[in-house]
Amino acid sequence: MKSKIFVTLLAILAITSLTHCAATTEKQKKEYGVLTTAVTFASDKAIGEYGGNIPPDLTAEKFMQFLQNRIPEEHYEALKKYSLEVKPKGSYYLLLIYNPKTKALILFDYSCTPEADGPVLQQPDKYDINKVELYDTCK
């Protein structure tokens, strides 16, 4: 009798865990979608403001200050959740976005293209994150 109860409880725990993982995955997908859209908004605003003259001293902090009140608040807040690095390239910039906990690269974008270039989190096997410059189509 005790073993049946134990097996039943174990089964319930396993199902609950699987359901929770699925919900977390869906939540993560939604958050990543908002982040990807935020990157697109940010690029559009930056190129609209600077044209082909990205300031050589553009940092992540200056980038976020520039974006405040220029993109939808939901997208600004999405960017704030992550660690950002901005690398000015003259007429465009490279935006690198890292998971703040693991410090792993999860997305990169060259601002000369309309959409995010490297959705690393969605397609981890497609990108060599140690050679992001290989994906620079702006050169």
Residue 18: pLDDT band with limits 50, 70, 90: very low
Looking at residue 7, its pLDDT comes to 38
Distance in angstroms (rounded) separating the CA atoms of residues 50 and 35: 22
- List all residues 6 or more positions away from 130 whose beta carbon is below 8 Å from its beta carbon: none
Distance in angstroms (rounded) separating the CA atoms of residues 106 and 100: 10
Distance in angstroms (rounded) separating the CA atoms of residues 132 and 61: 22
> What are 114's two structure tokens?
């309309």
Predicted confidence (pLDDT) per residue in 67-89, tens digit: 999 999 999 999 999 999 999 99
| Sign of the C-alpha dihedral computed for residues 68, 36, 118 and 44 taken in this order | negative
Mean pLDDT of 124-130: 90
- Res 40 pLDDT > 70: yes
Whether the Cβ atoms of residue 34 and residue 74 lie closer than 8 Å to each other:
yes
> What are 136's two structure tokens?
């620079």
Domain range list for the chain:
2-135
